[in-house]
Amino acid sequence: MTDFAPTQTPASDRRAVRNVTVLVLAQAFLGAQMPMIFVLGGLAGQSLASNPCFATLPISLIVLGSMLSATPMSALMQRFGRRAGFFAGALGGALGGAIGAYGLMTQSFTIFLIGSFFTGIYMSAQGFYRFAAADTASAEFRPKAISYVMAGGLVSAVIGPQLVKVTSEAMVVPFMGTYMAVIAVNAVGSLLFLFLDIPKPPAPTQESEKGRSRRELLKTPRIAVAIICAMVSYALMNLVMTSTPLAVVGCGFSQNLAADVVTGHVLAMFAPSFFTGHLINRFGVERIVAAGLLILAAAGVVAIAGVDIGNFFIALILLGVGWNFGFIGATTMLAGAHSPEERGRVQGMNDMLVFGCVTVASLASGGLMNCSGGNPQDGWIAVNLAMAPFLALAGGALIWQVLRPRAM
């Protein structure tokens, strides 16, 4: 499969640098709401749900909202441009925070779940930041642009959990202050998108190239393997991260310590982004994706080895680094495997499939954690053992991609 590279040369990446800067800031500030909600979503769900097996259902609803929003969000951006889609995402995030706060105030698990679903609209839009970084970048700058935008999450990894510590008990209703803070984050952060300079895709005409159908795209080996690796990397990261606060608190540690573990994890998710793009350029995208899958496996081994606080920190740090290599590598592989007129179709389909798997993973996380075995340690082991078959699937697909004849 021949990569579809822009005709832009590296010397003309001035516009791309401006857009990457805006998107890095958006990832850093607006993205802080995701660790905020992931730290508290399971704990708040546990306090509202009548059945502890449904504790992580709010996280599942966030990811379900993201999955169902992916195709409409991609179509919106294809027609009206990235800026319109990112504003729509921030609006969804603000509504999610408001509805979630109301659900906490009224002690309604159903309303809280509705708020979580709206938060998924923001999560879907955030997923397109990495694709937007590639829109105006040259072929050489593209993997670096994607990596730098993902690196903005390094700041959100610090801001989000720290805001949780400040706001979670700031109001009479537990956790409500955090959800009110989410509204402010979206309102202020959305102003950044006024500075984006990404042209809208040209309106299609009867003479325009229409590109391949979704079925044809999925039958393209490089696209199929990229999507599989992205699905597995993101779903397994979410599977383990969703259960982490429940496991840390369930094993006798404090809520603040759980927030610190999540902080370490999210830092590890995004810190490598400063050099992931350079590693892809030097060693090739397949090797970096393979390294990510191996590191995810190592995270599971460390987690199963024990429930000391050190095990939690090391396992979650490895989980973050593995996700970074696997997901950024898969995104780079996908971004170079389609033509401009196929952009909206491919990216929407990719994120719908990725977040569909993440939805299942987040829902399974609560069931495995709370309903398998008689104690939190048994549940935590079950969560991490569940990674093995999916890592084997992604690894097999990647090996097939590397070994297959290039003419295919």
Distance of CA 48 to the CA centre of its chain: 25
Angstrom distance (rounded) from CA 134 to CA 261: 32
Angstrom distance (rounded) from CA 154 to CA 166: 19
More confident residue, 154 or 206: 154
pLDDT at 9 over 50: no
Q: Read off the pLDDT band of 126 (50, 70, 90).
A: very high
> Can you give the pTM of this predicted structure?
0.73
Give the pLDDT confidence score for residue 209 in this predicted structure: 58
76-114 pLDDT, tens digit per residue, is: 998 899 999 999 999 999 999 999 999 999 999 999 999
Q: Is 252 left (phi over 0), alpha (psi -120 to 50) or beta?
A: left
The CATH architecture assigned to 16-198+213-403 reads Up-down Bundle (1.20)
Residue 225 CB contacts under 8 Å (≥ 6 apart), including other chains: 333, 397, 398, 400, 401
Angstrom distance (rounded) from CA 141 to CA 278: 10
Give the pLDDT confidence score for residue 406 in this predicted structure: 62
Q: Read off the pLDDT band of 339 (50, 70, 90).
A: low
Angstrom distance (rounded) from CA 242 to CA 61: 12
Q: Read off the pLDDT band of 140 (50, 70, 90).
A: confident
- The DSSP code for 141 is T
Alpha-carbon dihedral 104, 106, 107, 112, rounded to 10 degrees? -50
- The DSSP code for 87 is H
pLDDT at 322 over 70: yes
Report the pLDDT averaged over residues 42-51.
Answer: 80
Domain layout of the chain by residue ranges: 16-198+213-403
* Residues 388 and 307 sit within 8 Å (Cβ to Cβ): no
380-391 pLDDT, tens digit per residue, is: 999 999 999 999
Lowest mean pLDDT among 135-144, 311-320, 325-334: 135-144
291-303 pLDDT, tens digit per residue, is: 999 999 999 999 9
More confident residue, 376 or 194: 194
Amino acid at residue number 184: A
pLDDT at 374 over 80: no
Burial class (CB in 10 A: 0-12, 13-18, 19+), 164: buried
pLDDT at 233 over 80: yes
Q: Over pLDDT 90: what percentage of the chain? A: 41
Angstrom distance (rounded) from CA 122 to CA 34: 9
Report helix angle 14-29 to 176-189, nearest 10.
160
